[in-house]
Amino acid sequence: MTPRPNFLMTMTVLLILSGCAAEVTRTQPMVAVVPHDADPLGETEWGIIDPQPQLSAAEPLKKDSNQPALAVSLQKDAEAIDVKRKVIYSGSRSVKKVALTFDDGPDKVYTQKILDILQENKVKATFFVLGAHAEKYPEMVKRMAKEGHVVGNHSWDHANLTKLSGDELIDEVERADRTIEKLTGSYPALFRAPYGEVSKELFDVVEKTPNRSVIGWSVDTRDWEKVSADKILATVKKETKPGAILLEHCAGGKGGDLSNTIQALPKIIAYLKSEGYSFVTVPELLNPT
Ligand SMILES: [Zn+2]
């Protein structure tokens, strides 16, 4: 049976893309973890889904074109990969600059400690905050902005936005936008999707704001998983390259504990400085002056 033309086209796209996915697979094992807590606003952990395309060269493509749903399914996969390619995962690899990012805050414990460490080390970072947490701890968001950090939108309450549509999806993005703008005086130009999960519909909503960038990450410290501070540092040492965007958290975490992040952060800063890296915010990383 002759495969349909759109099936062939999709196969070609997938095979081309599989090269870069294989690169990713070597350094970042695919992990799909769902949120562990039904209470999205609790001081609890968030799951992370690897933001990169979920395909690798080792993953054989099914060739049974007798399945009518297969071509449609592959077409959807191709669209999903296309959308993920619009996410920015790092800056220029030619300059030794990195951006520290902290998600899911603010909270009343760890955000403050992280801000203190950043202040002591004269490092500017980027915080992707939840609108609901920003509303709960407004002083923390004001402090971020006042101390020169960039505040981006991480949705209202960490819903998986690929499962939402219409007004629900718009509300998740724009309600957080409005809260952040009220607290910082600036409409957030950066957006990071919960779990790194994006869709075409999400981009349609996010891109209603001109010049908005959707930001992923290139180094996942997995700090929310309660790995040790030494393991976090080892991941940073192994995976950080010029232009890296490092993912850490300033709220949530397993059992609400991010003491590993607090212990690791000064060591991360000291190590990367000793390696000749400078720390910039995500906008500075992407638009060097
Ligand atoms: Zn998050």
Question: Mean pLDDT across the chain, nearest whole number?
Answer: 82
Q: For position 3, what pLDDT does the model report?
A: 44
Q: How far is the CA of 101 from the centre of ligand 1 (A)?
A: 11
Q: For position 202, what pLDDT does the model report?
A: 96
Q: How far is the CA of 128 from the centre of ligand 1 (A)?
A: 8
Q: How far is the CA of 221 from the centre of ligand 1 (A)?
A: 13
Q: How far is the CA of 251 from the centre of ligand 1 (A)?
A: 9
Query: Could you report the per-residue pLDDT of 122-135, keeping only the tens digit for each?
Result: 999 999 999 999 99
Coil, strand or helix at 22: helix
What distance in Å separates the CA atoms of residue 29 and residue 54, rounded to the nearest whole number? 10
pLDDT band at 37 (very low <50, low <70, confident <90, very high): very low
Residue 137 backbone phi and psi in degrees, to 5? -125, 65
Q: How far is the CA of 277 from the centre of ligand 1 (A)?
A: 26
Q: Which residue matches tokens 């609901």?
A: 132
249 is catalytic: yes
Q: Which of 50, 103, 220, 223 is catalytic?
A: 103
Q: How far is the CA of 150 from the centre of ligand 1 (A)?
A: 16
Q: For position 67, what pLDDT does the model report?
A: 62
Please state the domain extents for the chain: 5-84, 97-286
Domain 97-286 has CATH 1.20.1280.290: no
Beta-carbon contacts of residue 18 (< 8 Å; ≥ 6 apart): 55, 56, 57, 59
Q: Which residue matches tokens 């005086």?
A: 185
Taking the CA atoms of residue 203, residue 151, residue 94 and residue 88 in that order, the dihedral angle to the nearest 10 degrees is: -10
Query: Could you report the per-residue pLDDT of 68-110, keeping only the tens digit for each?
Result: 677 777 877 777 778 888 999 999 999 999 999 999 999 999 9
Q: Which of 149, 154, 158, 249 is catalytic?
A: 249
Report whether pLDDT(222) > 70: yes
Query: Could you report the per-residue pLDDT of 2-29, keeping only the tens digit for each?
Result: 445 454 454 444 434 433 333 333 333 3
Q: For position 9, what pLDDT does the model report?
A: 52
Q: Which residue has the higher pLDDT, 57 or 287?
A: 287
